[in-house]
Structure 1
Amino acid sequence: MDNATLEELAAFGELLDFSRIFMLVAAAIFLWMVNSLVRRFSQKLMEKIPTRRFLILQTSTLITFLWYFGGAYWMIVGILQPPTEMLLALGGSAAVAVGFALKDVAASIIAGLILLFDRPFQVGDRVSFGDTYGEIVSIGLRSVRLSTLDDNLVTIPNSRFITEVVSSGNAGALDMMVVCDFHLALDADLELAQQLIHEAIVTSRFVYLKKPVTFAINEVVVAERLAIQIRAKSYVLDVHYEKAYQSDIVTRVSRLLVEHGIARPLLNSLSPLTTQIAETHNTPH
């Protein structure tokens, strides 16, 4: 073993002495604790200022990114203080090894940076990704966490958002469009039905009236019969009330339609398939 190799081993041993290892562990714990405090503080702040919830979530996410990157740099350069030659050599070797072993993780980290600056969606948005729909609760270095309406926490690697389609329902705004479909018989009074639906929407405690209420009317097939579909498009004042708003509208519209005698397609007559099943059960054997 030559002198150069011995010198390199000695320098490497100095980097991994007990005091520096202790400082590295302490620094890692410090980084984690500060990040936890930032998240708790942002959570408390969101509870006090709900109208600025999205801005607070986005700011805390950016702070987390910068904090971890800065902390990693400080741990390597400030605590270990390796020689420049060793830093370059180890950095090159580590980059190659990590690139092969953790290529998917590296792709997700790069994708996370792209998501942060390109912003196809933001923390707090209601998004649809594949068969998953819910609210973005965090955008991390490796993955995005999405809370579904069934209160399930779904973790999706960042790299998937770069290559697959994702749709955002509110695009950073507190309000969001909610679509409710109502089906009526062909001979129903459409004008009255539309008035009743409009009344139920504008009197809901969850409605956002600064944006318009619109309707789209179409013929569709319901239970193998033609029916009229009235699609009501309106806005909820906060995405957190999406399902409460939708339930409120459907419940009150259904009651109003019954009170005013407006026929629904399934109330007039049974579908041919249902009639055939009923006749089969009633036929004596």
Structure 2
Amino acid sequence: MIVRTPVLAFLFVMLAAPLQAASEEVRPETPSVLESALETAPVEIDGQLLFRVRGISSFPAAERAEAIRGRIEKVAADPSFPSDGLSAEIVENVTMIMAGEATLMIVSEADARLEHTSRDHLATLNMMRIRRAIDEYRQSRRSDALLKAGLYGAGATALLALVIAVLLVLNRWLDKALSQRLKSRVHAIGIQSFEILRSETIWKAFHGLMRVIGVATIAVSTYAYLHYVLALFPWTHSISNGLFALATGAVEHMGKSVGATIPDLLILGIIYYLAQFVLRRVRHFFDAVEQKRVIFAQFEPEWALPTYKLVRILILAFALIVAYPYIPGSESAAFKGISIFIGLVLSLGSSTAISNLIAGYLMTYRRVFKVGDRVKVGDVTGEVIAVRLQVTHLRTIKNEEVTIPNSQILNGDVTNFSSMAGTRGLILHTTVGIGYETPWRQVEAMLRVAAERTSGVLGEPQPFILLIKLGDFAVTYELNVYIRDPHGIARINADLHRHVLDVFNEYGVQIMTPAYEGDPDEPKVVPRAQWYAAPASSDQRKAG
């Protein structure tokens, strides 16, 4: 039995009156900013949305919606009240929707403005929705409807069991069929004899992927089953709607996320292809410079490759700076933290590497040396076999490879034996000490004869002799000869010394180096007959 509640109606009228008075200060065609920002709550019956209602500070929207829902369900649960018995009554400035003598809800002018319609029209629409909800509420709880829903639910359960069984069998069959067809084509991944991924590991990953696909298919089928079965019964219809909203919300969120990143990905793609295009054109240009098809004054062709590497770093750095804001997740705190950490590690650990890198480029443009030159760096003398950005590799005369940091080379002294050898020639020198009793003209003539006999010594420019010291016991002569091959310095020097010894022995002149304090009884010369004493051979006689 439904009882009229005039006190409750009076309270609703009193609550609606202030809203009506406040609304008169605002033009009807323009809702106030406050009303547009008010919170609303849905009124749902068995998971079906009827309408949304607003609230006030003393009666929040959620409490108002719950109160309206409770009164509607109470009326719907009373089969003695016909659904067409609803009526609308106007009291003061509000419209009351009545179920007999019971008030279901009150529609005010503020509610109508929220829906952008008139109060009477909104009351009529809400009354029609309540009437339909009452009919559906009663229809869904009839015994025949519940029996039908139970049969459909049982059928869906049986169908789910069949689908799961079929999926399990199909997954096993598909796994076996693909294994037979692809097993012979799957091989281990490795570099030469080192295996990065074994074939067994690849197969385990493949089987795991097939199991994941099977589980995902079963999960989707179970979700569809729950959504369907829960929607059959009025008490669980709202849960079914919640599952559907959860799935659609996840898909919508993923779609929005992907959609939001598509423009950024397109921009990243454009930046990538533009950078690749510019790098290709720059590489072709510097290739032309290296091949001397393009010539610039004061720019050496061997500078082309290192200059291209430097320009490439600048282009890639510029592209990365431009692309950084468009990288997905670049604004996240984790991404920024990782970036700061990487920058800190590089700044702390790469100071030496950067100094060597800069030194490598400075050496290139200063033309200190090039690959193939014979140089002396500190105490190391050898041929330059590779110039890297960080280090330079030298091969000594003993066939030893020495690696020297570029910063050390830049900060030290470098002697390049090859830079002048091809033009003016490289000067080799050696010294001998001869007694004062030997005429200097004779000594110089003998030194010139020794130079003429030495293979690799140039005739032009001619060798020259310097008297560099008048010592206590001997005069020190310096023989200077020109050569073209800086890599043969050791061999030419050795041959020159051999011929100096031979010539001085031929003419019976004693070399006073090292010095001594007294003259020997016999001159310290080697007789011609003993020039090729053992272990010397006749082959050396012919070579001499």
Could you tell me whether the CA contact under 8 Å between 1:169 and 1:177 is conserved in 2?
A: no
Quick one: distance in 2 between partners of 1:184 and 1:123? Answer: 42
1:48 matched residue in structure 2: none
Q: Is 1:166 aligned with 2:406? A: no
Could you tell me whether the CA contact under 8 Å between 1:170 and 1:177 is conserved in 2?
A: no
2:492 matched residue in structure 1: 245
Quick one: distance in 2 between partners of 1:134 and 1:124? Answer: 10
Report the CA distance shift for 1:232/1:73 in structure 2 as closer, same or farther (over 3 A): same
Q: Which amino acid aligns with 1:206?
A: G
1:198 counterpart (448, 464, 472): 448
Q: Which amino acid aligns with 2:370?
A: Q
2:403 matched residue in structure 1: 155
Q: Is 1:132 aligned with 2:380? A: yes
Report the CA distance shift for 1:220/1:164 in structure 2 as closer, same or farther (over 3 A): farther
Structure 1 window deviating more from structure 2 (105-114 vs 62-71): it is 62-71
Report the CA distance shift for 1:65/1:86 in structure 2 as closer, same or farther (over 3 A): farther
Q: Which amino acid aligns with 2:371?
A: V
| % identical equivalent positions | 17
Q: Secondary structure at the residue paired with 2:375?
A: strand
Aligned residues: 216
Shift of 1:179: 1.1
Could you tell me whether the CA contact under 8 Å between 1:138 and 1:146 is conserved in 2?
A: yes
Q: Secondary structure at the residue paired with 2:473?
A: strand
Could you tell me whether the CA contact under 8 Å between 2:375 and 2:416 is conserved in 1?
A: yes
In structure 1, list runs of 5 or more residues that go unmatched: 16-57, 273-285
1:143 matched residue in structure 2: 391
Could you tell me whether the CA contact under 8 Å between 2:450 and 2:500 is conserved in 1?
A: yes
**Could you give the per-residue CA deviations for residues 244-266 of structure 1, whole angstroms, max 9, x where no partner exists?**
11111110111110110112115
Quick one: distance in 2 between partners of 1:193 and 1:91? Answer: 75
Report the CA distance shift for 1:97/1:227 in structure 2 as closer, same or farther (over 3 A): same
Greater relative CO, 1 or 2 (CA 8 Å, sep 6+) = 1
2:474 matched residue in structure 1: 227
Shift of 1:231: 0.7
Could you tell me whether the CA contact under 8 Å between 2:458 and 2:482 is conserved in 1?
A: yes
2:220 matched residue in structure 1: none
How do 1:207-218 residues align onto structure 2 when only pairs under 5 Å count?
A: 207-218=457-468
Could you tell me whether the CA contact under 8 Å between 2:377 and 2:414 is conserved in 1?
A: yes
2:351 counterpart (103, 108, 131): 103
Q: Is 1:236 aligned with 2:476? A: no
Q: What is the Cα-based RMSD across aligned positions, in Å?
A: 4.0
Quick one: distance in 2 between partners of 1:207 and 1:91? Answer: 62
Q: Which amino acid aligns with 1:261?
A: G
Shift of 1:98: 1.6
Q: Which amino acid aligns with 2:324?
A: T
Q: Which amino acid aligns with 1:263?
A: Q
Quick one: distance in 2 between partners of 1:129 and 1:207? Answer: 25
1:47 matched residue in structure 2: none
Quick one: distance in 1 between partners of 2:409 and 2:419? Answer: 15
**Could you give the per-residue CA deviations for residues 10-49 of structure 1, whole angstroms, max 9, x where no partner exists?**
x8xxx9xxxxxxxxxxxxxxxxxxxxxxxxxxxxxxxxxx
Show structure 1 runs of 4+ deviating over 6 A.
70-78, 86-93
Quick one: distance in 2 between partners of 1:171 and 1:191? Answer: 34
Quick one: distance in 2 between partners of 1:220 and 1:147? Answer: 39
Q: Is 1:178 aligned with 2:428? A: yes
Report the CA distance shift for 1:102/1:145 in structure 2 as closer, same or farther (over 3 A): same
Shift of 1:91: 8.0
Q: TM-score, normalised by structure 2?
A: 0.34
